[in-house]
Chain A
Amino acid sequence: QQQVKQSPQSLIVQKGGISIINCAYENTAFDYFPWYQQFPGKGPALLIAIRPDVSEKKEGRFTISFNKSAKQFSLHIMDSQPGDSATYFCAAAYAGGTSYGKLTFGQGTILTVHP
């Protein structure tokens, strides 16, 4: 059972467009929601993360929107660039000891940005 559901599986956008990836979670104990970017043959790298006490967080071209009541969160990539082409994973974790590193990942979205 996938505790974090991510959509779409793949996404194609034109350079300069907006890329939007959505995630939904089940476990209300989750209180840390990061997004990771992964290039082929590389490890995931943290893009941006949010805690449930805020509804939006922006860092450069990347924005997380968070809806606690709906148990949903999304990543918006503004002015998408060909260099953003990668696989994006949403994830969730909860507090307690070392659990913030025990991430439950979504299924991933393959983003392709055409020049």
Chain B
Amino acid sequence: AAGVIQSPRHLIKEKRETATLKCYPIPRHDTVYWYQQGPGQDPQFLISFYEKMQSDKGSIPDRFSAQQFSDYHSELNMSSLELGDSALYFCASKKGGVAGELFFGEGSRLTVL
């Protein structure tokens, strides 16, 4: 079965650089969520999109932005990177509006040097 696809899987950047992470949800899933997981930490909700509109916002820094495109894939753009941005970034998808399984991708590991 198709899963949530994230790219790149690993990314190394310097401080103050910009990074873009991509997420391709499971087919027919209309809702995408982004989470950040620091080392040894629980995942923290960043932002979500439903039918290409931002639906909810969590602890996402102002330096980060995201959007969902017409094909439902999503991109997380991170600018002015800081050392503390080093983390695993997970994208997850589901059908919106109902309780049910949230499917996570395998994550993109960002390292900021």
Contacts and interface: CB of A to CB of B under 8 A. Distances in A.
Interface residues of A, number: 25
Nearest to B32: A101
Nearest to B29: A101
Nearest to B42: A105
Contacts of A101: 31, 33, 48, 92, 94, 96, 102
Interface stretch (B14-22, B78-86, B103-111): B103-111
Nearest to A36: B104
Contacts of A46: 101-103
B97 interface: yes
Contacts, number: 72
Contacts of A1: none
A42 B56 contact: no
A100 B100 contact: yes
Contacts of B55: 97-98
A28 interface: no
Given A43-B104, A105-B43, A107-B42, A100 B99 contact: yes
Contacts of B43: 44, 89, 103, 105
Interface in A42-81: 42-46, 49, 51
B interface, size bucket: 20 to 34
A104 interface: yes
B45 A104 contact: yes
B1 interface: no
B2 to A, nearest CB: 14
Given A43-B90, A45-B104, A97-B97, A102 B56 contact: yes
A99 to B, nearest CB: 7
B56 A44 contact: no
Contacts of B90: 43-44
Contacts of B102: 34, 46, 100-101, 103
Interface in B36-75: 41-45, 48, 50, 55-56, 58
Q: 8 closest A-B pairs (Cβ-Cβ)?
A: A43-B104, A105-B42, A98-B55, A98-B50, A100-B99, A98-B96, A46-B101, A32-B99
Interface of A: 32, 34, 41-46, 49, 51, 89, 93, 95, 97-108
